[in-house]
Copies of this chain bind each other. A is one copy, B any other.
Amino acid sequence: MALTLTPLRGIPLIQPGDDLPTMINAALAETELKLQDGDILVLAQKIVSKAEGRLVNLTTVTPGDRAMGYAEVTGKDPRLLELILSESRKVLRTREGLIIVEHNLGFVSANAGIDHSNVSGDWGDPEDWVLLLPEDPDRSSASIRSALEDTCGCRLGVLIIDSHGRAWRNGTVGTTIGLSGLPGLVDLRGESDLFNYHLRATLVGAADELAAAASLMMGQAAEATPVVHVRGFPYALREGGLQELLRPEERDLFR
């Protein structure tokens, strides 16, 4: 059995208030794909955030003292920093051009996931618009999944991903920020290996592996293919959530 990832054709530029499930169903038809039990749809964070109206115009933001302080360290726009701080629990690292935080949602990311590219609101200078992450990506996933399941009458998974940098390694990789209907982690502990005398001690970050896979097919420079259809995910679907994938600070040696 193969794993097949197909970017959907024909997803238009998303506007606030757009109904993503309807657009995904249209794009599935255009791509000549018919949903079936066990399929997963992977969505770029950006289209979910836009549909949910998470655009902010920087001219409406007044930076506070903390933001002004981080602006000196990082050289970033203090209004952007004000938004980053309001989206974060904690600042982990800063240097020129970089701020890495623990997001309110619990994961670690640069700029609290706030994005500047492929973004514009409907007034003022397009350069002033930025996009926050969805308020609750697990909830967004569940809602999109429910609408798609209603249409197809089948059991699906929905995964929302963003591109994250990593400790130790160069390059961003697609990473889970929300999910519904599939496992975040898969616990292989207790399964014996081929020689039957070891018990494995492995927790697999299955949703993040799928996030990385789908990210490959999304095209990064343009927002061309923000939805990827997945068939052949090898683990059993179940209810899941972002929290599974987040290591609590007290168990993290690198925070």
Contact = CB atoms under 8 A, between A and B. Distances in A.
Interface of A: 1-7, 13, 93, 95, 98, 100, 107-108, 116-120, 126-127, 163, 166-175, 184-186, 188, 191-195, 197-198, 200, 202-206, 208-213, 215-217, 219-224, 233-234, 244-247, 252-255
The 7 closest A-B pairs by CB, nearest first: A171-B205, A213-B213, A212-B212, A167-B254, A191-B221, A167-B167, A209-B212
B219 A213 contact: no
- In this complex, the member of A108, A163, A234 whose beta carbon has the largest number of chain B beta carbons within 10 angstroms is A234
A14 B204 CA distance: 24
B209 A213 contact: yes
Contact of A168 (B5, B224, B246): B246
Given A163-B202, A253-B93, A117 B171 contact: no
A234 B215 CA distance: 11
Report how many copies the assembly holds: 2
Contacts of A3: 4-6, 213, 216-217
A99 to B, nearest CB: 11
Contacts of A170: 184-185, 203, 205, 244-247
A5 B247 CA distance: 29
A215 B173 CA distance: 15
A13 B208 contact: no
Nearest to A129: B195
A7 B220 CA distance: 27
Contacts of A252: 167-168
B2 A253 contact: no
Contact of A213 (B13, B168, B216, B255): B216
Contact of A210 (B216, B220, B233): B216
